[in-house]
Amino acid sequence: MRKCLLVLIALLTVVRASDAFSFDNDMLNSKLAINGNTVPYPIFSIFVMPNKTFTVEFDNKSHTGNFQFHHANGEALKTSSNLPIVSGVVGKAPIMAPKKPGHYVLKTTNAQSGETATLNVFVMTSLEKVDKTGKLNGYTIGKYPDKPLKNNPIYLPPSGLIEVSPEQTDVRLSPNFTLGQFLSKQQQGFPKYVHLRAGLLLKLEKILHTLNDEGHAVEGLTIMSGYRTPFYNKAIGNVQYSRHVWGGAADFYIDQSPKDGVMDDLNKDGVVNREDAVWLANFISNMSKQGAFGPRIGGLGIYGANAAHGPFVHVDVRGTLARW
């Protein structure tokens, strides 16, 4: 299918990281370990429930430093009933999240390297707040399955959801991805709600960085579909246990040259078709075989064009290999 037939639909239904900024390849010299995940980026995000603890340490155990909580506007938090401990020593003890759901910022300083890092702390709203009609503050969530698929705990309903206001859509979750890119595509107003897994952000960043490291100049990945509410997932006829519903999957393509809303001719054969998704999937598969994703292995799917979209690939972090 010719690219020009798909441009309008694609531009209306996707959000590009490169619309807001170019590829950011900044890396920490001294990595952080956040909830057990090694994070090499100076900006990252975690998603926690109110009053729950999380861990932040320097990957280099000989390094020391401090942390300080801030409001999203940059103002330092003051001790309150919402958050009794607003600052401290990195790695000394688990850090407690604020009591009130919302977006907070935790900044760390490394005494040895002099580096600072920004950690977006999204305190989630409990899934129990979803009413009997399947709505949360007017936004339709739907209903998660009562039983996990094959009794696998990764398919248990999430504990909570991130509330998103219009001004939060541009918040960088990691160097090259924003919160707005992962919102469910259902046509409803704000506040919206989303669930995400930090492992997915790490996997997408790794793919983007490796593409650039190997000579493929790519500013960003165009996310066609990130999180899907159970309601939206059912409405589009997708399988009940799609990893999108648990915030652990993304459908995307590369739209770099020309930037026209659909997949590039990645295999350089002069046409844009399913073979370009195959090229991208093979690139990601080779990364997986080399252990690039660590525990964040998962599904990898290839999709061709139809009347609604161009070629794209699916990746997820289910923890087991799946290919289609």
The answer to whether position 216 is within a domain reads: yes
State residue 193's pLDDT score.
98
| Average pLDDT score over residue span 216-225 | 97
pLDDT level of residue 17 (50, 70, 90 thresholds)? very low
Separation between Cα atoms, residue 222 and residue 259, nearest integer Å: 10
Token pair belonging to 256? 């770099």
Q: Is 245 helix (H, G, I), strand (E, B) or coil?
A: helix
Cα–Cα distances (Å) from 201 to 172, 175, 186, 317, in that order, read: 11, 10, 22, 10
Name the average pLDDT for the chain: 93
The answer to whether position 258 is within a domain reads: yes
Last residue of a domain, one of 123, 158, 186: 123
* pLDDT tens digits for range 47-75: 999 999 999 999 999 999 999 999 999 99
Task: Write out the DSSP string of 116-177.
Answer: EEEEEEEEPEEGGGS-TTSEETTEE-----SS-GGG-GGGSPPSEEEEE-GGGTT-EEETTE
116 and 229 share one domain = no
* N-term to C-term CA, the chain: 21
196 and 318 share one domain = yes
Residue 186 domain boundaries? 3-21+175-323
* pLDDT tens digits for range 225-274: 999 999 999 999 999 999 999 999 999 999 999 999 999 999 999 999 99
Type of residue found at 160: G
Type of residue found at 100: K
pLDDT level of residue 144 (50, 70, 90 thresholds)? very high
Nearest to 283 by CA among 266, 304, 297: 266
The answer to whether position 240 is within a domain reads: yes
Cα angle 13, 208, 153; round to 5:
75
Separation between Cα atoms, residue 230 and residue 72, nearest integer Å: 29
196 and 303 share one domain = yes
223 and 254 share one domain = yes
Length of the chain: 324
DSSP assigned state of 78: -
94 and 232 share one domain = no
The answer to whether position 154 is within a domain reads: no
The answer to whether position 317 is within a domain reads: yes
pLDDT level of residue 13 (50, 70, 90 thresholds)? very low
15 and 73 share one domain = no
305 and 232 share one domain = yes
Query: What CATH number did the domain enclosing 52 receive?
Result: 2.60.40
pLDDT level of residue 7 (50, 70, 90 thresholds)? very low
Nearest to 82 by CA among 72, 69, 91: 69
Task: State pTM to two decimals.
Answer: 0.92
Type of residue found at 155: Y
Buried/exposed code over 264-282 (b: 16+ C-beta within 10 A; e: otherwise)? bbbbeeeebbbbbbbbbbe
36 and 11 share one domain = no
Kindly compute the dihedral angle of the four CA atoms of residues 300, 304, 308, 313, in this order, to the nearest 10 degrees. 20
13 and 69 share one domain = no
State residue 9's pLDDT score.
39
Cα–Cα distances (Å) from 275 to 66, 279, 282, 310, in that order, read: 49, 6, 10, 11
User: Rg for the chain (alpha carbons), in Å?
Assistant: 20
* pLDDT tens digits for range 176-207: 999 999 999 999 999 999 999 999 999 999 99
As for how many domains the chain has, the answer is 2
263 and 315 share one domain = yes
Alpha-carbon 2 to chain mean position = 30
The answer to whether position 196 is within a domain reads: yes
The answer to whether position 131 is within a domain reads: no
Separation between Cα atoms, residue 90 and residue 113, nearest integer Å: 14
110 and 195 share one domain = no
CB 54 within 8 A of CB 129: no
Query: What CATH number did the domain enclosing 304 receive?
Result: 3.30.1380.10
76 and 203 share one domain = no
State residue 14's pLDDT score.
42
Nearest to 256 by CA among 226, 293, 215: 215
